[in-house]
Amino acid sequence: MRINKYYLAAFTAFVIWGFFSLALKPIHHYPSLDILFYRVFLSVVLISAINLFLRRNVLLKDWKNFQIQTQSDKNKIIRVNVGGGLLLTANWFIFIFVMNHISVKAASFAYLVCPILTTVLAFFILKERLSKWQWIAVGISVSGCVLLSFNSFSDIFYSLIVALTYALYLVSQRKNTQVDKFVGLNIQILTAGLIILPFFPAFSGPVPTESLFYICLLFIVILFTIIPLFLNLYALKGVNSSTVGIMLYINPILNFLLAVFYYKEEVTEIQMISYSLILISIIVFNEKLIFNRKLKDHRVSE
């Protein structure tokens, strides 16, 4: 039952992110950097306020626990949380750069490559084992991504950089066990805010005055940043990085469905085949886990 809880958290996070475009589209005429600045700064304020005023006991408990750690363990806690903030910042910055200066296709393709990289990194860095069926699922997803990459090989390099930053973030947070997940997220978002703060005066546009911007921003910060990031970190407590990584495909699949059925964008046969293969890879990868768990539960009951 515990695995189900963590698994559901990861699934919910990526389903939420799959609908991110619904909050972004109404304010697409604002510069991407401005949206990023206000997204991060408001996230810092909200998360910090929640921890300071509503979760002060948890915050103090983590601080006392940090103080009694050895210097080596303290350094590890700092590295994994501040490093997580650096990786998130890099991912967001590079994603916006690719979106604005390379191509939207390259930015979108990055989150199709990310699950593959996460699975491979988890295998080599965390020594997470994959079954034969899970490797088959990875192979199916690679096939789908290769089909989508036809005629856009120049974009692959940039897609890999975006994907690598988030894959490293997922893998690194698997070892982040000494700090409460919401407190850890606070440290990471605060790190991101401190990094981008010096760039705000030079690169930000006029202060938005339209109420729609702030309404959408609240949805972006609460529903599409704080909640899914926390669920993502929470899921990593009970589900390995490769499983969380492969479930990341839920995000682009939902984006694709929205583009076709809601935004009425044109779709090619290759795209249909590619996304179908990716969907099959998710089912194959996770069905094996479900089967193993049911078999284990059945043996226990016997």
In tens, the pLDDT along 38-57 reads 999 999 999 999 999 999 99
- pLDDT of 297: 44
Question: Does the pLDDT at position 302 exceed 80?
Answer: no
Q: What is the pLDDT of residues 260-292, one digit of tens each?
A: 888 887 778 888 888 888 888 888 887 655 555
Secondary structure class of 261 (helix, strand, coil): helix
Token pair of 247, please? 């479930």
DSSP assignment of 207-233 equals PP--HHHHHHHHHHHIIIIIHHHHHHH
DSSP assignment of 40-63 equals HHHHHHHHHHIIIIISHHHHHHHH
- pLDDT of 152: 62
How far apart CA 265 and CA 276 sit, in angstroms, is: 17
- pLDDT of 108: 72
- pLDDT of 279: 85
Q: What is the pLDDT of residues 78-109, one digit of tens each?
A: 999 999 999 999 988 888 777 667 766 677 77
